[in-house]
Structure formats: C-alpha cells, structure tokens
C-alpha cells in the first residue's frame, strides 16, 4: 500500500454539488497538506495541519473546507465550486512541519462543470 492515498482519483461535479476529497497517510506523520495544481501555474499551498490542528490557511475561499479528524486522515470538503477551481488537488504529509521532505499522493483530478 502506498504511503499517501487519495480518493477519488477523478471527480466531475456541477457548481451546486457538494463533494469531499479524502486523503490517508500510512507513514505515521504528524503534518498533512493540501496543494492545488492548476494548468500552467505553480503548485499552491492551500492548508497545513499539524497534529490535527490547522496551522496555515493560505487565503483559500470558504467554498473549500478542510477537515483533519486525526493525524492519518485529511478531507477537503467542496461546495459551490467554480469552473476555475478545476485542477489537480494533491495531498501530502511530512514527519513534522518545517522544511521537511514531503510525501505526496497521486492527487484527485477535479473538473467543475
């Protein structure tokens, strides 16, 4: 089993739908992250959790709502998205926060119609 698992791999949703992205890490790490990868733009950090506490919210619109119920699981709840939110959403984990090596999942390719 891979270290960081994301589901679903692909998601198509309408602008009025509510959906959730799931991330699970099997590495015993204390920090988890959500990154957004849009076409022709650098990866953007969205949220950082350390020991289930959110330590960074990088000016992300409220239509994205993260949840970290424990140090192994991270969710991204989506509501009333816009077509420009279509992107690859990558989850990552690291032993702790700081300039650590990140372990990434394969991402969820999201399309908002």
Partner 1 sequence: AQKVTQAQTEISVVEKEDVTLDCVYETRDTTYYLFWYKQPPSGELVFLIRRNSFDEQNEISGRYSWNFQKSTSSFNFTITASQVVDSAVYFCALSLHGSSNTGKLIFGQGTTLQVKP
| Binding positions for partner 1, rule: CB under 8 A | 2, 4, 31, 33, 40-43, 45, 48, 50, 55-56, 58, 88, 90, 92, 94, 96-107, 109
Q: Which is nearer to partner 1, 41 or 84 (CB)?
A: 41
Answer yes or no: are the C-beta atoms of 36 and 46 closer than 8 Å.
yes
CB 80 within 8 A of CB 16: yes
Q: Looking at beta carbons only, is 49 or 85 nearer to partner 1?
A: 49
Tell me the closest approach of the beta carbon of residue 84 to partner 1, in angstroms: 18
Q: How far is the CB of 6 from partner 1 (least distance, A)?
A: 9
Alpha carbons 16 and 34: distance in angstroms, whole number: 22
Residue 62 makes CB contacts below 8 A (sequence gap 6+) with none
Q: How far is the CB of 68 from partner 1 (least distance, A)?
A: 14
Question: Is residue 84 classed as helix, strand or coil in its secondary structure?
Answer: helix
Nearer to partner 1, 10 or 16 (CB): 10
> Which lies closer to partner 1 via its Cβ, residue 15 or residue 51?
51
Residues 60, 65, 66, 69, Cα dihedral to 10° = 160
DSSP state of 74: E
Q: From the CB of 74, what's the least distance to partner 1, in Å?
A: 14
């Amino acid at each position: 089993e891979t270290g960081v698992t994301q589901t679903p791999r692909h998601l198509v949703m309408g602008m009025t739908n509510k959906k959730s992205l799931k991330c699970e890490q099997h590495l015993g790490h204390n920090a988890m992250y959500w990154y957004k990868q849009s076409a022709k733009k650098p990866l953007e950090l969205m949220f950082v959790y350390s020991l289930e506490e959110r330590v960074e919210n990088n000016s992300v619109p409220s239509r994205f709502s993260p949840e970290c119920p424990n140090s192994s699981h991270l969710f991204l709840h989506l509501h009333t998205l816009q077509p420009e939110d279509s992107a690859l959403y990558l989850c990552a984990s690291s032993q702790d926060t700081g300039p650590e090596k990140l372990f990434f999942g394969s991402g969820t390719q999201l399309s908002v119609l």
